[in-house]
Chains A and B, each alone.
Chain A
Amino acid sequence: MILRIIPVREFILAAAIFLLLLLISTRHAAFISPSNLANVFNDTAPLMILALGQMVVILTRCIDLSVAANLALTGMVVAMLNVAVPGLPIPLIVMIAISLGAIMGAFNGILVWKLAIPPIVVTLGTMTIFRGIIFLISDGKWINAHEMSESFTAFPRAEIIGLPVLSWVAVVAVAVFGLMMSRTPLGRSIFAVGGNPHAAVYTGINVGKVQFLAFVLSGALAGLTGYLWVARYAVAYVDIAGGFELEVVAACVIGGISIAGGVGTVAGAVLGALFLGVVKNALPVVDISPFWQLAISGSAILIAVAFNARAGKTRGRIILKSAEHTS
């Protein structure tokens, strides 16, 4: 039943994005040129990568509001590392970024798993803590382009077969997560934990541990994006990616990932991110003030969640209609 709904939901979202592109092209034909679309994709890549991690977390009935702060802290650490040791090879920096992000994710995960603190409280707390730590280590100073080494900032922009590395990282992440969610025991247990935690326990899945792993994955992706972000924009300061966590959650919600857990797909997360990316990039092109963006993404969240709730409401036997409504 649910499996039948999911492809339809993603199809509708894809159609909506396609229609949006058509609409924009009537005002400004150059927007849908392949090179510009590649630009839009590259611009949306960080959102897409983070949405994948957030998707896994939301699927296990949790939420990670600390991703943007995690991204900013990792970005600041690797930027400072680059300033201190300019010769550090890029693969090592990437490894450090991923591990650091994963450690922060693990911190969230441990609190959720071992102490059973609600994820929203944990990540609200760590969000402010991570941001504060950035200030502590950087003293509130900026790290600018001229302080970073050439190879450090060049990496995400380097082109491979016509696309920058940043875009390729997103493509690889999507492929890896697609495989993980559909072909591995971890992917199955993530769905199981979100779908019905009690049943998951009886099938031998450690619910807390799966949630922990989801936070580690989300954190690792946030760390990776942290390096890519700082290197791409060639600047690191306390407030980078401020409020980005909400955009990430928005991408997931628009992509049809149920906040109640257990329902959602990789394609949904990617399309949700792309939708927001297209809107963001199209506004200046069609002469709408960028100040509209916040309201538009807010409305998109509300419409998407109302729409998805309707699509998913038919399952189960309803004994008392209004009681079903409240639970």
Chain B
Amino acid sequence: MTDTAAQPRHIPDRLHGSLHRTLRSWEALLLLVAVAIFILNSFASPYFLNAWNLSDATFNFTEKAMIAFAMALLIISGEIDLSVASTIALTSTAMGLALQYGAGTPELVVVGLTVGLLCGAFNAVFVTILGLPSIVVTIGTMSLFRGISYIILGDGAFRGYPDSFSWFGQGYVWWVITVEMVLFAIIAIIYGILLHKTNFGRAVYAIGNNSTGALFSGIRVQRVKFMLFLLTGLMSGVAAICLTSRLGSTRPSIAQGMELEVVTMVVLGGVNILGGSGSIPGVVIAAFVMGLVTFGLGLLNVPGIVMSIFIGLLLIGVIAIPRIVAMIANKRSRP
């Protein structure tokens, strides 16, 4: 990642430069969808346009989005991490354990970040050093990490987190601006810069497009991937701190199924699931779209499981519709 400094500022995502423009328009389209949902929601429910309600609604996506940024980089590089929700469970359990030994808020945060990092490192060792496919490894660690939480907690729970710890998930910085929102914004900016403005980010794209080619051009492929798994673990740790602080308790079933929502968010944000292309602004807008949809449907008393139909349709639809349109356009131009 140090040898790419001489390259031009922007590497096209594909050999054809037009894809870049499509991506731009993808984000524009997504933004349009977000605005449309916002307007629809404000007509559908009188409770929607309320600063406090909207502030509450951000909890629907802030924690997931923190992980989604790291996941976006990982998916762009051609890997995936399905163990993020289980990492949250294990991290939260570890914090609960630390609490039993009398840890205060600073220690809890340190424990949370460390365990998250360790989980990421564990995945990274299997994928980059042993050279195993990340999807299988992380399906395995998905069971393993949550399994350890179940061994420690059984059907019990850790409670009684200190009052100062609740600041992360329940605190406000100013007026309706929550601590989580600020964290979300800071992390979004950091990842945006990391992916779009640094050599490291360019290496991530290069690996996703052609990892052998990247290796031959002097990128330390395995090291970059190792870092990406570490970052994903770290973000899961941050999300675990926020979630635990918000819920005020730890159960082994915490954040169950969240990995799918994170992947959905990333794919919805225009990141190619096969690697090689995608952007952080896209993921940011996707986070808002998902948050607004969940919040809006919630205000209309639509049960959570029905919302998941929308999320599922959204996931397939955003990929299927452009392809169907392209197919029809192709048939027309070549009868």
Contact = CB atoms under 8 A, between A and B. Distances in A.
Given A117-B319, A121-B267, A322-B215, A128 B260 contact: yes
A253 B126 CA distance: 15
Contacts of B55: none
7 closest Cβ pairs, A-B complex: A295-B147, A298-B143, A298-B144, A132-B309, A294-B147, A301-B140, A128-B312
Nearest to B305: A135
B143 A295 contact: yes
A115 B131 CA distance: 30
Contact of B212 (A122, A296, A326): A326
Contact of A302 (B131, B144, B146, B252): B144
A253 to B, nearest CB: 6
Contacts of A129: 308-309, 312-313, 316
Contacts of A23: none
Nearest to B122: A302
A136 B270 CA distance: 29
B250 interface: no
Q: Which of A246, A292, A294, A297 has the most CB of B within 10 A?
A: A294
A316 B46 CA distance: 66
Interface string B129-140: 011110111011
B151 A298 contact: no
Given A125-B316, A253-B139, A289-B151, 7 more contacts: A63-B135, A117-B323, A125-B264, A135-B303, A238-B305, A249-B139, A325-B222
Contact of B323 (A63, A116, A294, A325): A116
Contacts of A238: 305
Interface residues of B, number: 53
A327 B211 contact: yes
B137 A295 contact: no
A121 B147 CA distance: 25
13 contacts: A117-B316, A120-B273, A124-B312, A124-B315, A128-B260, A253-B139, A260-B133, A289-B154, A294-B146, A305-B137, A322-B215, A326-B221, A327-B212
Given A118-B273, A294-B150, A309-B131, A250 B143 contact: yes
B324 interface: yes
B142 interface: yes
Nearest to B219: A326
A117 B211 CA distance: 22
A132 B310 CA distance: 9
A302 B141 contact: yes
Contacts of A87: none
A115 B322 CA distance: 10
A260 B145 CA distance: 24
A121 B151 contact: no
A131 interface: yes
A296 B311 contact: no
Q: Which of A128, A253, A301, A325 has the most CB of B within 10 A?
A: A128
Given A124-B315, A129-B309, A309-B132, A296 B139 contact: no
Contacts of B142: 246, 298
A327 B154 CA distance: 41
Contacts, number: 152
B156 to A, nearest CB: 10
A215 to B, nearest CB: 14
Q: At the interface, is chain A mostly helix, strand, loop or mixed? A: helix
Nearest to B154: A291
B39 interface: no
B270 to A, nearest CB: 13
A125 B144 contact: no
Contacts of B319: 115, 117, 121
Contacts of A301: 136, 139-140, 143-144
Contacts of B130: 306, 309
Given A121-B267, A302-B141, A323-B216, A253 B305 contact: no
A305 B306 CA distance: 36
B311 A326 contact: no
Contacts of A140: 303, 305
Contacts of B312: 124-129, 132
Contacts of A111: 316, 320
Contact of B315 (A115, A121, A289): A121
B148 interface: yes
Contact of A323 (B132, B145, B212, B308): B212
B123 to A, nearest CB: 10
A297 B139 CA distance: 10
A205 to B, nearest CB: 22
Q: Which of A111, A115, A297 has the most CB of B within 10 A?
A: A115
